[in-house]
Each structure stands twice: as C-alpha cells, then as structure tokens.
Chains A and B, each alone.
Chain A
Amino acid sequence: MLEIKDLKSRVAGNDILNGLSLSVNAGEVHAIMGPNGSGKSTLAQVVAGHADYEVTGGSVTFKGQDLLELEPEERAREGIFLGFQYPVEIPGVNNAYLLKAALNAKRKHAGLGEIDAFEFLKMAREKMATLGMDPKFLNRGVNEGFSGGEKKRNEILQMAMLEPELAILDETDSGLDIDALKAVANGVNSLRSPERAIVLVTHYQRLLDYIEPDFVHVLSDGQIVKSGDKSLALQLEERGYDWVREAASA
C-alpha cells in the first residue's frame, strides 16, 4: 500500500531524513519509534504533504501512485489520514462543520453524493460514544479550548469518521492520561481491518501495550536502523535507544 524508498527530506535547511525505506501493506500495524529528532514527525509530515518539508531524494508511492505529486487534500481523499501531534485550534469553525466538509470532500472524490444530515449525526454520535466524547463537542470550535486529551480524541474521531486506508498517528499518545490513552487505543483498534494500515509514530512503548503492532521500526538520524516484531519495543524500553544506535553503527 505504502512504499517509501530511500526518502531524503530537508526542513529549514536541515537534512532530517537520510535515505529512509519502509513498506506498509494493508492490514498491518507498524510502530515507528525513535528518540527526539530522529525524524519520526518529519516522516509523518512528508507523507501527508506539508509544504515546509522539502523532499530531496527517493520516492513515496501509495496504492501504486506517486504520492509526492499530490496536494495534501488529494492525499487525504485518496485515503491517507494524519493524526497531528499538535492538533490545530480553529476558533469559529465548529467540529461538525469540519467533519462534514471533510467527509463530503472524500465522498465527492469517490463519486458519491453529500452525506445525509441525519446519517451524519447518527454516525458522529456513535463514534463519539466509542471514544467517550460528549456529543456537545460537535458544536464547539475545532479543538478550541480543548485539553490535550480532548484534542487527541478529536483526532481519532476525525479518523474514525473518515475511515482512511492508511492512518499515520503522530505521537497520539503524548500527554494522555491512562483513561484517554485507553479510549484512543480503543478507537484505533476498532479501525483495524484487513483493508487498512496504521502507522503509529511514538516515543514510548506505553501505547503499544494497548495497540499491538505487527512491526516495530527504530528510527535514528533519519534512517530505519532496526526492524522487528513487538518484542523489539520491549527491548527498547529495557535497554534504551542508545543500544540500537550502538548496534547499528557497530
């Protein structure tokens, strides 16, 4: 589904990704781990299409098409979803409006008509219940005045509504208390399916107690230096990132 080959990227004049390769297939859950500054968030931003991240080499294809040619909105409509590390507050635009507009943009791209208002509300309420969100959040400004946990739940709500084929969740676990972490993990797990791939970008192993990955990759200096199964995350927890770096350079 997603093929990243020898990807190099630069932001604000600094080389961050230095030849990263990763292959993600439908039905898989990947965890990308690594210390701060290793390029985890850059990878997420490049795949989603942020203009500040310049691609200086390599290729990224999604379902066989050149992803780097597409605008961010086209990537979203094709089925890519980025859960932001720092979800943006947009006062004056209510959550329901954004959800509906996003859903309709995707439906239009798929040749479908706009979603029925009743059907939309029903769907939103169901998803919110799963995430332990008060339906009142629908009428609030997008992330406006939300706590850290509420913002992350809101990201997962958007993901649940949009049902992406590839979801990249950037540090979705950061700043969450245990209840919020469980709610977010439930939301993610409920979306696991043979047609869908999920990439979790995370600093800590904690999230992986609740969302079990098929593959774990360790990122260091903009490259994947080690890949393994979920046991790798536990080893990292025990031995720290230096262990992988030392092993990689040895």
Chain B
Amino acid sequence: MKPISTDELQAIVGRLPTTRDEDWKYTDLAPARDISSRWLDAGEATPSAALTEEIDRITGSIDASWFVIANGEVHDLAAVPGAAIHKLSEAPAGQHALAELNAALLKEGLRIVIDGTIDKPIGILVIDGTEGTSMSQAYVEIEFAENSAGSVVEYHASLGDADQYANTVVSVAVGAGANASHVRLQDRRRNHVQTGRTDVTIGKDANFRSAAFDLGGGLIRNDIAIDIANPGAEVSFDGLYLAGEGQHIDNHTRVDHRVGPAVSRQEYRGILNGKCRCIWNGKAIVHEGADGTDADQANHNLLLSDKAEIDAKPELEIYTDDVKCSHGTTVGQLDETALFYLRSRGLDREHAIQILTHAFAAGIVARAPVGAAKDEITRLMEARLANMIQTDDDLSA
C-alpha cells in the first residue's frame, strides 16, 4: 500500500457516490462516509475478543477449504490441490470511487487461481469485528483457468455493536470452457454497513452459476457486473434478500452481452417486513452484433408489511435484432387464501406464514450452485424468517 495522507483519504471518502448519482438515488451512503471519517480520525480499533471463536464457528458450518480475511487482514494460506493461492499487496484502483477507496486502504488482497478440477468448494470468509468503530477493505481475485471446474463460497459476516463499514471488491475471471460456481452469503450484523462490488468476465463456452444471499446487514449495497465478451457462455445468477425492520438492501445487477450466442438468466427474490427498503435494479445490455443472445431477468418480492418498500427496476437495452430477451417483476403480499387453507388444516398463523415465506424463497436456495453451502443457507434463512415473523405483532398475533 502506497503511503497516503489522511487528508487524501478523507478526500476519497468525500468522492463516494451520493443520491444525486442515478445509480445511487435510493441508497444514501452517508453512514458509510460518517463511519469512514470517524475511523480515519480515530485509527484502527482493537479486534473483538470473540473474533476467533466466530471464525471457527463459520468455517465449521460449511465443508470447504477456507481462507479468512478478518478486519482486512488475510490469514495464513493453506494449500489446496488444483488451485494456487496468493496474497496480494495491492488492488487495482479501478474506475469506481468504491474501488479507489478499496485500493487506497487495502491491507492485503487474496488471489485464488483454480487451474484444475476441485471438488471441495473454496471458502472465503470476510469477517469484521472490533471493539470500536471500524472500516475494512477486502479485495479478492478469483480466476477459473481454461477448462477448470470448481466452486467458491464467499461468506460475509461481522460481530460487535460498534459502527462498522466494510467495502469489498471481488473480481472473477472465468476462462474458456470453465465450469464455475459461486455463492455469496452475507450475514452481517443488522447495524453494519457494507458495499460490495463483483465484476465477472466470462470466457468462450464457459459456464458461470452464481447465487447471492443477503440474510443480514443494516445498510447493504451490492453491485454485480457480468461481462460476456465471448460466444457460447451460459450464465445464471440468482439472489435472495430478506429485510426486516430498519434494513436497507440494494442489489444492482448488470450483464453486458457483447457477442452471441450466449445465455444469461437472473432471478432475484426478496421478502420484506417492517419498515425497510430494498432495491433491485437489473440492467441487461445487448450490444450491437451480439446476435443469438438469450437474456432473461426476473425479480419477485413478497411484502409482509405495508411499511416495507421495494423499488424494482428492470432495464433492458437492446442494440441488435436476433435476440430473445424477457423480464418480469412482481410485488405481492401474503396470499390470504393460502393462509386460510393452511390454518384450516390446524397450522397456526405463524407457522402458516413461515411455510409460505419459506416456499417463496425455497427455489433460489434449491438452485444454489454450491451444494455444500445449502444447509447453512437454509439454516440462516429459516432463523431469519422466524425472527422476522416472531418479532412482528401483526404477523405473530
């Protein structure tokens, strides 16, 4: 990391997007700027006493070859057959203010190259926990070499009551003919802020399957951008977000079809309850000459409370003729007829709501491309749904 003055860092923080930027109009990063400024003034905080225990718990929850980035520091690396793993001393500055912040403050990055076939998923735990206000950066490069096959699970977690802002930049390169699976699981504390950016490039005839689960967090913004510049690519990426009282979860997705034929599918689903806000903005751009593109995007939302707010926006831009594109967005409430049906079979209201919400989300979990992570995802999802319902007097009455 190049030495950089606090004033310069404060200037970078000042350049973070604001609600005046079209892509950020629903998500105000003021808490991130505030935490960053306070952290820059106060300096590094002491790691939480419970950090080690929490790392052990999480890495024990999914059978994977784990790598840990705790409070921005990459822990010692273990060898994984079929993969090469290194620490990085710096990250590229990138074109976004968030990438600039990431590069300026990065302690260590992680580079994972999967060059063969790996059966056991590689796990990357990004965890933050300090006694005082903290800000942390994580930078991860994941490369699936030509014709390789493997899966990666990112698990983002946090602990502690102190204010916290985590900024993550992930770059995924899927080589020609590679078969890549990816899961991102976010279970941060509900008073913590996270911005995360994932850029994916897809090689010729490559297959990339991804699913993102936002089951925690306070103010969360995820950007995923998938660039298809080679023919024959098959891409699917799903998402599930559960938001309760006070949470704000923003998912911006973008897929660029630069050549065809190629297929991309995405389905994001959200369950919202209490005063909360979620955003799904799905952009698909089919560039000139990308004939044979098949792009589909869907976003479905279940609102359990009239105080919950969802802004769902599909954006399709098509600059060529021979394409098949579709999008669908729905916002609905609990089906009262289904609820009565279940209750008429003896199930109490709370149980019936749990069943219906679980059913709404189950498809996304079932399709998650990393089998080893499904139990943990299901466990976290069920616990979160139960908590959302039990803490709500209208639903549990």
Check if B358 is an interface residue, CB within 8 A of chain A.
Answer: yes
A-B contact count (CB 8 A): 72
Given pairs A102-B347, A105-B346, 8 additional interface contacts (CB within 8 A): A72-B343, A72-B344, A82-B344, A92-B359, A92-B362, A101-B347, A105-B345, A105-B351
What is the size, in residues, of chain A's interface with B at 8 Å between Cβ atoms? 28
Interface residues of B in 339-380 (CB under 8 A from A): 340-349, 351-352, 355-356, 358-360, 362-363
Q: Which residue on chain A has the smallest CB distance to residue B363? A: A92
Complex CA distance for A49 and B360, rounded to whole angstroms = 25
Question: Which residues of chain B are within 8 angstroms of A8 by Cβ–Cβ distance?
Answer: none
Interface residues of A in 80-102 (CB under 8 A from B): 81-82, 84, 87-88, 90-93, 97-98, 101-102
| Interface of B: prevailing SS | helix
Q: Which residue on chain B has the smallest CB distance to residue A92? A: B359
Task: Given A90-B359, A92-B358, decide whether A162 and B345 contact each other with a Cβ distance below 8 A.
Answer: yes
Complex CA distance for A84 and B342, rounded to whole angstroms = 11
Complex CA distance for A91 and B359, rounded to whole angstroms = 7
B340 engages A51 (CB within 8 Å): yes
Complex CA distance for A65 and B349, rounded to whole angstroms = 22
**A2 smallest CB distance to B (angstroms):** 16
Q: Which residue on chain B has the smallest CB distance to residue A109? A: B346
What is the size, in residues, of chain B's interface with A at 8 Å between Cβ atoms? 23
A76 engages B344 (CB within 8 Å): yes
B359 engages A102 (CB within 8 Å): no
Question: Which residues of chain A are within 8 angstroms of B352 by Cβ–Cβ distance?
Answer: 73
Check if B330 is an interface residue, CB within 8 A of chain A.
Answer: no
Check if A217 is an interface residue, CB within 8 A of chain B.
Answer: no
Check if B5 is an interface residue, CB within 8 A of chain A.
Answer: no
Q: Which residue on chain A has the smallest CB distance to residue B335? A: A88
Task: Given A93-B359, A105-B348, decide whether A88 and B343 contact each other with a Cβ distance below 8 A.
Answer: no
Q: Which residue on chain B has the smallest CB distance to residue A79? A: B346
A102 engages B363 (CB within 8 Å): no
Check if B95 is an interface residue, CB within 8 A of chain A.
Answer: no
Question: Which residues of chain A are within 8 angstroms of B343 by Cβ–Cβ distance?
Answer: 49, 71-73, 76
B340 engages A50 (CB within 8 Å): yes
- Please tell me which one of the listed residues A49, A81, A105 contacts residue B347 in the complex, with CB atoms under 8 A apart: A105
**A161 smallest CB distance to B (angstroms):** 10
B342 engages A98 (CB within 8 Å): yes
Question: Which residues of chain B are within 8 angstroms of A152 by Cβ–Cβ distance?
Answer: none
Check if A32 is an interface residue, CB within 8 A of chain B.
Answer: no
Task: Given A90-B356, A92-B359, A92-B360, decide whether A73 and B341 contact each other with a Cβ distance below 8 A.
Answer: no
Q: Which residue on chain B has the smallest CB distance to residue A86? A: B337
Check if A77 is an interface residue, CB within 8 A of chain B.
Answer: yes
